Structure 1
Amino acid sequence: MSDVAAGPLADVDADRRPVVLFDGVCNLCHGAIRFLVRHDEHGAFRFAPLDSPVGRALLEEHGLPTEDHDSFVLVDADGVHRKSTAALRVARLLDSPWNLAWAFRVVPRRLRDAAYDLVAEYRYYVFGKKDACEVPEPEIRERFLERSLE
């Protein structure tokens, strides 16, 4: 068994099951994950907090910083995506009508990311934050790659 297979990425197969990395203490992010679970009828996505061992390992594997998280990240068969691009790629795989948001990809990324950055900058002020990442509900726990949340 290789070191990678025994490590935090042992259960990750982003080519088949895209992984959404999120800020584990952000109330807005938790709301977004609950939304994704509700509107991902086929269970395509897996989830992990950015600051979990799985999250940090995926960030390192793709050359992204493992501190100062200002974005959620999507890791899929096409690579790693951040900010508005990640949000649109996630929306593309959701049930209708949410998948129609993919059409916004025609908006220049610089403009999309500026709007994303504005929300990200004030997310704790507007939505608040938790002291720690909460444990997911039992009915969706298998979709979370970070087993320490159990």
Structure 2
Amino acid sequence: MSDSENASTAPVLLYDGVCGVCNRGVRTILRFDRRGTLRFAALDSDFARGVIARHPELADVDSVVYVTNPGGSDETVDIQSAAMFRVAEYLGGPWRLTLAARAIPPFLRDWAYARFAEVRYHVGGQYDTCPIPPPEVRSRFIDAA
């Protein structure tokens, strides 16, 4: 991502920055991301607030959000299971096998996602504040301290 223009249009994954499960998911993505272009921002960041302002349907969303072409006139957002599928598409390789779950109707996938989201802090713990990413990947985090 040496080109600043590419950095500004690279997809962004919004996530719950204090969620232990979400943070482990982000670390997993970083480990398997061969392209190194996907960026990250916590749901309570200034960047995420801007995305939410542009997409009022996200006002009450407490979910992972995959943002394509952030800030552009063709910006799109995917949430819940659709966002997870976008990450699998982005990662490619064996992660694409999870795309077979698209055969499950979206309302069932998102119902299951919402049920897990309700207990995610019990399953994976919760941080007091969003952890600071390691220096080697910090540039991929928007609004990181």
Structure 1 length-normalised TM: 0.83
Note the 1:40-51 alignment, pairs <5 A.
40-51=33-44
Greater displacement, 130-139 / 93-102: 93-102
Cα RMSD for the two superposed structures:
2.1
**Is residue 29 from structure 1 mapped to residue 22 from structure 2 by the alignment?**
yes
**2:87 aligned partner, one-letter code:** V
Aligned residues: 137
**Which secondary structure state, in structure 2, belongs to the residue aligned with residue 75 of structure 1?**
strand
Gaps of 5+ in 2: 70-74
CA offset digits 1:75-127 (Å, max 9, x no partner): 11461110001001111110411122122222110111111011101001111
| Structure 1 partner of 2:110 | 113
Change (3 A) 1:14 1:69: farther
Greater helix proportion: 2
Gaps of 5+ in 1: 1-10
CA contact (8 A) 1:19 1:74 kept: yes
1:18 to 11, 14, 21: 11
1:74 to 66, 88, 93: 66
Aligned mates of 1:14, 1:107 — CA distance in 2: 34
Calculate percent identity across the aligned residue pairs. Answer: 42
Offset, 1:62:
1.5
User: Which consecutive segments of 4 or more residues in structure 1 shift more than 2 A?
Assistant: 11-16
Structure 2 length-normalised TM: 0.85
